[in-house]
Structure 1
Amino acid sequence: MPRQAVQNTQKMQNKQKMQKVQKMQEVQKMQEVQEMQNAHNMKPVKSSLQDLLGKEYVDAVTAAAAFLTDLSLAEAQEIAREPIEFMPEAYIRRMDGLLSQVGSQVVPEMKGAHDGAPTDAFRKAANPKASPLGGLGYFRLGEDGKLYLITKSEHYHTPLGHNFPGYKLIGQAERLGITNATHNNTRGSITRLLERELVRTANGLAKADADALGRILDSREPHVLNRVINLETGTLACEAAIKMMLARFYKLDDTFPDPKYKDRTPVFLVMADHDGGSQANYHGTTIVAQTMRGLWPGIREKLQGEIMQTCPVRINDFADFKAKFEQYNKPPYKVAGFLHEIVLMNYGGILLEPSYLQKAYALCHEHDTPVMCDEIQSCMWYPGMYLFREYGLNPDFVVIGKGFPGGQYPASRVITTAAMDTLNQFGALVTNGQEELAALAYLITMKFSEENADYIREMGTYYEEKLQRLAECHGGLIEKVEGKGHLSTLFFRQPGKVTEFTAILNGSCIDISAQTYKAKCPPAALTKPPVIATPAMIDYFVHRMEEVLHRLNDPN
């Protein structure tokens, strides 16, 4: 047989072998996805208002509805007892079935769009084409008529996506005339129930363990979380915690006794950036919190005298933490508090190590220094709803928000201890924050997440492992995967590549952002899929990332 014929035969055989291998790989992949779908289905959750809020409350509410509205008592009771399925199978199939249309124009573009009346900064950053006309689960439908994949959970506050079916209970509550607006002195039954549920879950108690919850609520032992302050935004929640720490140095007004550390200058320890500065920490947008991360340098410089000081501590470096703690925990200073997130989503998604935080907490507790764990970013994205519990930590303040009300309302909370309960009613809070329907949104989100803790853990692990494999295959572009579970980031080797990577994905209607502007922070691509993300959604997202990485490796 001529050599050319032999070569052609070999090529054909090799091609057939390759096609066979590819087909086997495709079949194996389909089997793996199917196994994931079968083994890791979300747990069905169904609840009525009566199931969630209790019969005694619902009996009172339905009697009120029969008096105040045109509903009969029987009609009101029917609404209160109607079970709502939180995540129907048809809803999940509908989401997964739309994945192939991401980036496509599925409805006509909105006509006559206007700019509103923004500030110059907001006008410059605006992207009205992507503004929502509607949404379904992990999709947003933009004003341009295109379907967007919300792989950052709408900047971290929609863990259950858009139009989560369980939130229909809020509409049922409105039909019964349950009012949203209350005042501090008239906190409603739903808000009070939520406070108890936050204490229960923050202490890792089972729902049926009423005796243990009672003991926790009555406790005055240090580091036992059993007080809740209701506020609207994470910024105000962080500010309340900071003020409660400052109350050990300064009096709120002349009716208060002299503070314990009135002759010492308070020093707050916050996370440092890789340049030794303070850009890695983020605890809201009040003046004090902003000075802690290096903004308002003129004000910061004047504060850094006898009034208060901020000291950045290096990430995951306990020796540095201990040295600075010892430096500032003696007269004329006193370490007033240690403020931290666990996943630094405003600094590349860097993950603080459990051993680092455990040792830092032990040192703080030994020397009467309260710790504030800021879980605004991480709450609701991990089993048990709080990442600090996964770490085995015992903070004095836990700040939560965003994820808990699921984007339905601005509603944040401070969970704290009897020892830190130092200010009067208006010293640590604002008039708003007691909204009943916002509290109901919390309870709905918590019920779904508590019952689906295993699913959240498994899908977080699945996503992280897929990203690890992606990074291994594209080591020339990606240095490492950071973060944990759904809150994962990709560290690129070159800032230009991460910018190009995210721009291509954004152009395909996939939400992802680049962080390249912080001091010595590795160029990072930030992601945060909703906790309702399915294996199909995660596979689609990772596959699209892989396509872009191949394109960056080989532009031709």
Structure 2
Amino acid sequence: MAILDQLTSQEAIDLENKYGAHNYHPLPVVLSKGEGVYVWDVEGKKYYDFLSAYSAVNQGHCHPKIVNAMHEQASTLALTSRAFHNDMLGKYEKFACEFFGFDKLLPMNTGAEAVETALKICRKWAYEVKGIDENEAEIVVCENNFHGRTTTIISFSNDSVARKNFGPYTAGFIKIEYDNLEALENTLKSNPNVAGFLVEPIQGEAGVYVPAPDYLAKAKALCEKYNVLFIADEVQTGIARTGRLLATCGNCSCEDKNCSKEPEVKPDVLILGKALSGGAYPVSAVLADDAVMNVIRPGNHGSTFGGNPVAAAVAMAALEVVRDEKLAENAFKLGELFRSELNKFIETSTIVNLVRGKGLLNAIVINDREDSETAWNICLALRDNGLLAKPTHGNIIRFAPPLVMTEEQLMDCVSIIVKTLKQFEK
């Protein structure tokens, strides 16, 4: 460990390049410490984290309450598998079900696993409850979606990099345009074998596309009309990121006063991950009411690590932090401020076309071709100026800081962003 502790940034990058699979293209910065909204590289330079591990670190890096819960439980009992009961899982399931307003929770580890779980639940419900003939069920998804990179999920992806040379692909999915209610109704009306509609409340990886304010509520109403499950993938948008506990914010325990500003939508199936653990441990979950979840029986689905005691303890602590520190309210307030301040700059800017988002999930669109390197170069310059972000789709840069950020810190970040963007003005 002494040798590893002395690595320079370049040495660490070289090790990854030599011994690791090249399945990511990270920004060239090597981090070794995090606290709150800050991270430090191996040379000791301090940065604002404006990505939050793709919204996994909503509660801030190394939140003491979450870390303490993880350490205490790991020191007591870490794993039993599901061959036996443990004394933490039931507590966590009750806590989370009451927190989000559902009857049942199925625990998993990663976001992609949770999506796969939701797809299996939907198909089984289709055959045993809706009465679709076996192997005929179809699930409607949206173009430009991002739900993970498993074989099934890439089968209904538009991302050629994720798809090419990974076929044959899994059948049973219908793609329609995002934020298009007419396309959704036409599909549901013409196909009685549709079992579910899987949708991101905001398309994050596609560039933080926010649908019309009534899109989710009307989509849910259409699903009810045609007896189709409304499946919300809130792996990125959930846990206070968008200024509400959930972007759909259905029958939940959120006390945020902003919830009344948009229609409430309670998904039939809710998919959570990432910030469910505050980024401290892999934890994901699928929640549904009994009428849907009861189709799952012993042997149908599972995971050795899903629902382990550490995951349960960490998730409860992480959700308590969101509630007790009013992170949804903070995200709403700071998100409004962030977009307002950037719009002031955009009014006279030649490098940025617009800023869009909700809460502290935002993106700017760079005035350049999608295949240009301008967005990447801007992120390199942001790094040099003390702020870490990454392009999310071509010429779009996503900004998603930890929700524990203060107004003073946010304004400091806005100054860094504006200063950096001015370096690229044409």
Tell me the TM-score range normalised by the shorter chain: 0.7 to 0.9
For 1:552 and 1:383, how far apart are their aligned partners in 2? Answer: 31
* 1:477 aligns to 2:355 (yes or no): no
The verdict on how the C-alpha distance between 1:115 and 1:242 changes in structure 2, with shifts beyond 3 A counting, is same
Structure 1 residue aligned with 2:397: 525
1:202 to 88, 96, 100: 100
Contact 1:248 1:262 in 2 (8 A): no
For 2:166 and 2:186, how far apart are their aligned partners in 1? Answer: 26
* 1:153 aligns to 2:28 (yes or no): no
For 2:78 and 2:198, how far apart are their aligned partners in 1? Answer: 32
* 1:343 aligns to 2:202 (yes or no): yes
Quote the RMSD (CA, aligned, Å): 2.7
- The SS at the match of 2:198 is strand
Structure 2 residue aligned with 1:321: 184
CA offset at residue 399 of structure 1?
A: 0.7
Structure 2 residue aligned with 1:512: 389
For 1:142 and 1:188, how far apart are their aligned partners in 2? Answer: 39
* 1:121 aligns to 2:22 (yes or no): yes
For 1:120 and 1:419, how far apart are their aligned partners in 2? Answer: 43
Identity of aligned residues (%): 18
Letter in 2 for 1:286: T
- More displaced stretch, 497-506 vs 193-202: 497-506
- The SS at the match of 1:115 is helix
For 2:232 and 2:142, how far apart are their aligned partners in 1? Answer: 12
CA offset at residue 470 of structure 1?
A: 2.9
1:417 to 289, 294, 310: 289
2:114 to 232, 237, 244: 237
Structure 2 residue aligned with 1:535: 407
Structure 2 residue aligned with 1:393: 265
1:166 to 45, 65, 73: 65
For residues 417-463 of structure 1, give each alpha carbon's deviation from its aligned partner in whole angstroms, at most 9, with x where no partner exists. 21222122332321221222222221222112112143333223222
The two structures have a TM-score, normalised by structure 2, of: 0.85
Structure 1 residue aligned with 2:145: 281
The verdict on how the C-alpha distance between 1:115 and 1:264 changes in structure 2, with shifts beyond 3 A counting, is closer
For residues 273-307 of structure 1, give each alpha carbon's deviation from its aligned partner in whole angstroms, at most 9, with x where no partner exists. xxxxxxx1111222111101145468867654xxx
Structure 2 residue aligned with 1:488: 362
For residues 469-498 of structure 1, give each alpha carbon's deviation from its aligned partner in whole angstroms, at most 9, with x where no partner exists. 332342x32222222120000122313443
For residues 366-423 of structure 1, give each alpha carbon's deviation from its aligned partner in whole angstroms, at most 9, with x where no partner exists. 2211111001001122455222114411211111111120111101011112122212
Ranked by relative contact order (alpha carbons within 8 Å, sequence separation 6 or more), the top structure is 2
Contact 2:35 2:61 in 1 (8 A): yes
- The SS at the match of 1:339 is strand
The two structures have a TM-score, normalised by structure 1, of: 0.66
Structure 2 residue aligned with 1:95: none
- The SS at the match of 1:425 is coil
> After the TM superposition, which residues 18-167 of structure 1 pair with which residues of structure 2 at under 5 Å, given as runs?
109=8, 113=12, 115-116=15-16, 118-122=19-23, 125=25, 130-167=29-66
CA offset at residue 229 of structure 1?
A: 0.5
Structure 2 residue aligned with 1:354: 213
Letter in 1 for 2:80: T
1:266 to 124, 137, 160: 137
Letter in 1 for 2:100: A
Q: What stretches of structure 2 of length at least 5 have no aligned partner?
A: 1-5, 250-258
For 2:115 and 2:222, how far apart are their aligned partners in 1? Answer: 22
For residues 109-143 of structure 1, give each alpha carbon's deviation from its aligned partner in whole angstroms, at most 9, with x where no partner exists. 57964615644424x7356x633321221111112
Contact 1:229 1:414 in 2 (8 A): yes
Letter in 2 for 1:407: G
Question: Larger Cα Rg: Structure 1 or Structure 2?
Answer: 1
Aligned length: 397
CA offset at residue 201 of structure 1?
A: 1.9
Contact 1:350 1:482 in 2 (8 A): yes
For residues 71-94 of structure 1, give each alpha carbon's deviation from its aligned partner in whole angstroms, at most 9, with x where no partner exists. xxxxxxxxxxxxxxxxxxxxxxxx
Letter in 2 for 1:489: A
The verdict on how the C-alpha distance between 1:485 and 1:178 changes in structure 2, with shifts beyond 3 A counting, is same
Contact 1:138 1:149 in 2 (8 A): yes
The verdict on how the C-alpha distance between 1:321 and 1:144 changes in structure 2, with shifts beyond 3 A counting, is same
* 1:549 aligns to 2:409 (yes or no): no
> After the TM superposition, which residues 301-312 of structure 1 pair with which residues of structure 2 at under 5 Å, given as runs?
303-304=170-171, 308=172, 310-312=173-175
For 2:67 and 2:237, how far apart are their aligned partners in 1? Answer: 25
Contact 2:103 2:287 in 1 (8 A): yes
CA offset at residue 242 of structure 1?
A: 0.2
For 1:169 and 1:388, how far apart are their aligned partners in 2? Answer: 31
Contact 2:96 2:316 in 1 (8 A): no
The verdict on how the C-alpha distance between 1:431 and 1:538 changes in structure 2, with shifts beyond 3 A counting, is same
For 1:190 and 1:385, how far apart are their aligned partners in 2? Answer: 23
Structure 2 residue aligned with 1:190: 88
The verdict on how the C-alpha distance between 1:472 and 1:426 changes in structure 2, with shifts beyond 3 A counting, is farther
For 2:42 and 2:316, how far apart are their aligned partners in 1? Answer: 32
Contact 1:149 1:509 in 2 (8 A): yes
1:501 to 378, 390, 407: 378
- The SS at the match of 2:39 is strand
The verdict on how the C-alpha distance between 1:327 and 1:264 changes in structure 2, with shifts beyond 3 A counting, is farther
Q: What stretches of structure 1 of length at least 5 have no aligned partner?
A: 1-106, 204-224, 251-256, 273-279, 518-522
For residues 306-348 of structure 1, give each alpha carbon's deviation from its aligned partner in whole angstroms, at most 9, with x where no partner exists. xx2x22221222112222222323xxxx112100111211100
Contact 1:397 1:414 in 2 (8 A): yes
- The SS at the match of 2:137 is strand
For 2:8 and 2:219, how far apart are their aligned partners in 1? Answer: 53
CA offset at residue 199 of structure 1?
A: 1.4
Structure 1 residue aligned with 2:231: 372
- The SS at the match of 2:237 is coil
The verdict on how the C-alpha distance between 1:302 and 1:415 changes in structure 2, with shifts beyond 3 A counting, is closer
CA offset at residue 536 of structure 1?
A: 1.8
